[in-house]
């Protein structure tokens, strides 16, 4: 398995661009970031290439503002404006969010399916993937619509495009559902990226209730060969923390 680290969560005492080399020095295989539009993506790409560190994933431009349940013209415009940032970064995986619960559940699901079906043509032509992310609505994101991987997988099945998949966030789905190994093995074809953190607290993976080596092994055995992302906030020295997390998942 290849492991990426989200730079917004770690090395916060350092300037953002300096975090890239720090991630490499600690042993990460790749990096990822939330909103590419707030950074100099060409600068990130240059530093990442110098350190032989790919960009595994990035968010769609202003993804917390422009949700995938917006009107289609907004969704299409945001996808088209986000793709050039990914091209700068050498990144083909974009993270999208469903939006808050705004209507009857089935209506919102239908709207997401329709929007993603229409935008899938653009993504396929540009050879990029949009991964829609279920989040937990119990603690961190109350009011968020897509709080179930099951519904996420149903949406992806309905869209039926290689360019639309689920971001399976182990932290959020452990809180909402559990049964991660079975869910991952059953739905691996619909998963385009993973996120992870320790439960509870969203800190180091080895300091939570989840047996991450077991989960990662299940994903590998099911055929997943992309990146497994760390999106956690360290509780102690960040360099030591990341090294410890990498040693834990690689053991």
Beta-bridge partner residues of 100: 144
pLDDT in tens, 127-153: 999 999 999 999 999 999 999 999 999
| pLDDT at position 104 over 90 | no
Distance CA 86, CA 227 (A): 16
The pLDDT of residue 98: 95
Q: What value does the mean pLDDT of the chain take? A: 97
Residue 118 pLDDT class (50, 70, 90 cuts): very high
The pLDDT of residue 74: 98
H-only helix segments in the chain:
19-26, 41-50, 72-89, 105-126, 149-159, 170-176, 180-187, 212-221, 238-250
Distance CA 166, CA 134 (A): 8
Domain count, the chain: 1
Distance CA 214, CA 53 (A): 26
Q: What percent of the chain has pLDDT over 70?
A: 99
Read off the CATH number of the domain in which 84 is found: 3.20.20.150
**What kind and span of H or E run contains 5?**
strand 2-6
Distance CA 217, CA 121 (A): 33
pLDDT in tens, 163-174: 999 999 999 999
Phi, psi of 236 (to 5 degrees): -145, -175
Is residue 4 within 8 A of residue 28, CB to CB? The reply is yes
Residue 103 pLDDT class (50, 70, 90 cuts): confident
Q: Which residues, at least 6 apart from 43, have a Cβ–Cβ distance to it below 8 Å?
A: 17
pLDDT in tens, 224-239: 999 999 999 999 999 9
Distance CA 45, CA 55 (A): 8
* Tokens (6 digits) for 54: 């790919």
| pLDDT at position 8 over 80 | yes
| pLDDT at position 124 over 90 | yes
Q: How does DSSP classify residue 246?
A: H
Quick count: other Cβ atoms within 10 Å of Cβ 124?
14
Structural domain of 218: 2-250
pLDDT in tens, 58-83: 999 999 999 999 999 999 999 999 99
The pLDDT of residue 121: 97
CA distances from 245 to 113, 197, 207, 233 (A): 36, 10, 9, 12
Residue 106 pLDDT class (50, 70, 90 cuts): confident
Residues present in the chain in total: 251
| pLDDT at position 105 over 80 | no
| pLDDT at position 177 over 80 | yes
What is the DSSP annotation of 42-101?
HHHHHHHHHTT--EEEEEPTTTTTS-TTS-HHHHHHHHHHHHHHHHHHT--EEEE---B-
């Amino acid at each position: 398995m290849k492991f990426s680290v989200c730079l917004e969560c770690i090395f916060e005492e350092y300037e953002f661009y300096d975090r890239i080399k720090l991630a490499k020095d600690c042993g990460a295989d790749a990096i990822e970031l939330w909103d590419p539009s707030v950074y100099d993506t060409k600068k990130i790409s240059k530093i990442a290439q110098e350190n032989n560190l790919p960009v595994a994933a990035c968010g769609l431009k202003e993804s917390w503002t422009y949700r995938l349940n917006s009107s289609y013209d907004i969704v299409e415009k945001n996808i088209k404006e986000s793709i050039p940032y990914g091209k700068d970064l050498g990144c083909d995986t974009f993270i999208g969010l469903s939006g808050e619960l705004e209507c009857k559940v089935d209506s919102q699901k239908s709207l997401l399916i329709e929007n993603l079906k229409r935008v899938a043509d653009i993504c396929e032509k540009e050879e990029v993937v949009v991964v829609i992310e279920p989040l937990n609505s119990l603690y961190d994101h109350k009011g968020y619509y897509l709080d179930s991987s099951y519904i996420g997988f149903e949406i992806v099945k309905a869209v039926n495009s290689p360019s639309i998949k689920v971001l399976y966030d182990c932290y959020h789905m452990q809180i909402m559902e559990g049964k991660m190994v079975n869910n991952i093995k059953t739905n691996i074809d619909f998963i385009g990226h993973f996120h992870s953190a320790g439960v509870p607290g969203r800190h180091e993976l080895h300091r939570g209730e989840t047996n991450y080596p077991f989960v990662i092994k299940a994903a590998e055995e099911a055929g997943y060969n992309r990146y497994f992302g760390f999106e956690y906030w360290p509780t102690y020295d960040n360099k030591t923390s990341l090294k410890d997390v990498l040693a834990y998942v690689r053991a």
